[in-house]
Structure 1
Amino acid sequence: MKRLLRCAVLAAAMVTAPAVYAGDCGYDYCWGAVGFGPNGAWGYSYGQFSETEAVNVAQNGCGWNCSVVRTFYNTCGAIAVADNGGWGWAHAPTRSDAESSAIAYCVPHGRNCQVRVSSCSP
């Protein structure tokens, strides 16, 4: 009887628990990062196993000169930068949505906001 009850509880948990899918990179969380720094430095990463690895790969692309790095997982991220150095960042399911949102977040902080870097890690 106890075994039957345990099986029933396990079956109910399997039906009600959300499905967990590995990301396209093969991990539950496919980490990515975008970053920028002075003198036009920028870097990005995607498909990394951990947030730390994502930051390190992006920083390496920046020559370890990124002053701003933002991370995300299983989505896209973008940073837009204004002429005066103001910036905005966003993440969204698509690259174009992340870029549009980053520009929208940048506009209150400066003029002529343009996407400096974007990446997707779905």
Structure 2
Amino acid sequence: MNKIVARTAVIAATAGAAIAIATGPASASADNYGSIAISTSTGNIGWSYDYASRATAESVALSNCNASDCSAVVWFANGCGAVSKAPNGAWGWGYAASREGAEAQALSHTQGANAEIVRWVCTTGHQ
């Protein structure tokens, strides 16, 4: 009788482990947020990625920017953000599911010729 109980316990434990593996961790469906902050006076850039909320991602980006006039200019969830700058001092930014898309948006939003990407960031879970 003890062998039957022991086998039943092993089968139940194995089935439970299989269910846990199949469903994955509870956080697998959680969003990952990121942000980029810039200081237009100093050119400083701060960024963040893989935070649980937009507010935290923006706060960390601002903190990493290290200038009094830093502003969080773009945030994104499960994707990428990018910031561009033109030689005339114009800035642009964008976000998309992919790095390439975010960079294209940033460049298209920069008012000036010969703009270049100065920072891009992607979260885990981007395309």
TM-score (norm 2): 0.67
The aligned residue for residue 66 of structure 2 is 63
How far off is 1:111 after superposition?
2.4
Letter in 2 for 1:51: R
Aligned residues: 98
Match of 1:36 in 2: 38
Answer yes or no: is the 8 Å Cα contact 1:27–1:49 preserved in 2.
Answer: no
- Measured after TM superposition, the shift of residue 118 of structure 1 is 1.2
Extract unaligned runs of 5+ from structure 2: 1-23
TM-score after normalising by structure 1: 0.69
Q: Distance in 2 between matches of 1:81 and 1:72?
A: 19
Contact 1:32 1:47 in 2 (8 A): yes
Superimposed CA distance per residue, residues 17-57 of structure 1 (whole angstroms, 9 cap, x where no aligned partner): xxxx98xx756221100121122200110000111110111
SS at match of 2:34: strand
Distance 1:26 1:46, change over 3 A: farther
- Pick from 63, 70, 90: which aligns with 2:94? 90
CA–CA separation in structure 1 for the residues paired with 2:73 and 2:105: 17
Partner of 2:104: 100
C-alpha distance 101-83 of structure 1, shift in aligned 2 (>3 A): same
* Greater RCO, CA 8 A, separation 6+: 1
Worse-matched range after superposition: 61-70 or 41-50: 61-70
Matched, 1:45 2:58: no
Q: 1:71-119: CA deviations, max 9, x gaps?
A: 111110111111222222111122122112211221xx11221112211
| More divergent stretch after superposition (37-46 vs 57-66) | 57-66
Among 71, 93, 114, which residue is 1:112 paired with? 114
Runs of 4+ in 1 over 4 A off after TM superposition: none
